[in-house]
Amino acid sequence: MELVAHWRLSRQASIDLVFFCGVPVVLAMLSAVLGPYAAIMGGAGAAVYVLSLAIMPWCLTGLVTQLVSRRAGRRLPLWLIAAVGAIASCPLVLLYVYVVNSIAGDIWPALDALRPATFSAGHLKSAALSEGRAIVLWIAFVVIFHETLGWARFAPPTAEPSREDRFQLSGAEWTAEDDALLRSLIGSGKPPRAIALEMKRTVGGIRARTAKLGLRNNRPGDTSAG
């Protein structure tokens, strides 16, 4: 069991690495290759610029989405958790992007020609479109990673019966109705674990009662001594 748990943790950590590093790096490289930045900054400068605009905002959005997921619990579906997290992170992301663009503009003045004047109508429209695309991408990747890889970083916790709920009748007296239900479940071919969950008793209690009733191998009619 410990080995399985360790494998699951390692797998989730690997998916975390791919999601938070691999995805933004790939998106940034596409932007560097397809965009006009290399002509202004050179290949290395363009790579640094687009990576700075991709990795940190992606991780900031992840941090905010994690907080939203913890607060929401099972009340919201995954896609809505991702959407709320992306929207809530916008102020942080926009502030970070503004700082990076200001620094880049001082290093490469020609970069200002690609961007509309700050806080102009064109700038606000461009920022809104850019944030909208980023939010859609974020939601899509979160849902795709969850559905295809079983990634549970932001997924709502699954409802599992508590130990009290599962074994609330443990140690209780067996009634004639309990015995009849036990015979019926054994006759249907259910294993002891499934019967224990349904009757809210321990597996050991089910097996002990099965033997006491003269049943064996979960099938009525097979008797055993004792």
The rounded Cα 32 to chain-centroid distance in angstroms is: 29
| Tokens 């002891």 sit on residue | 192
Closest to 188 measured CA to CA, from 219, 157, 164, 159: 219
Please spell the DSSP secondary structure of the chain, one letter per residue: -HHHHHHHHHHHHHHHHIIIIIHHHHHHHHHHHHSSHHHHHHHHHHHHHHHHHHHHHHHHHHHHHHHHHHHHTTSS-HHHHHHHHHHHTHHHHHHHHHHHHHHHHHH-GGGGGGSPPTTSHHHHHHHHHHHHHHHHHHHHHHHHHHHHH---SSSPPPP---HHHHTTTTTPPPPHHHHHHHHHHHHTT--HHHHHHHHT--HHHHHHHHHHTT-BTTBTT-----
Nearest CA to 50 among 36, 23, 31, 34?
31
**Successive 10-residue mean pLDDT values, the chain, 226 residues:** 51 89 91 82 87 93 94 87 94 91 86 65 71 91 92 76 52 83 85 84 84 68 40
Q: Is the dihedral of CA 121, 126, 129, 135 positive or negative?
A: negative
pLDDT digits 0-9 by tens, 102-144: 898 888 888 777 666 555 676 667 667 888 888 999 999 999 9
Verdict on whether the full-model pTM lies above 0.85:
no
pLDDT of residue 37: 82
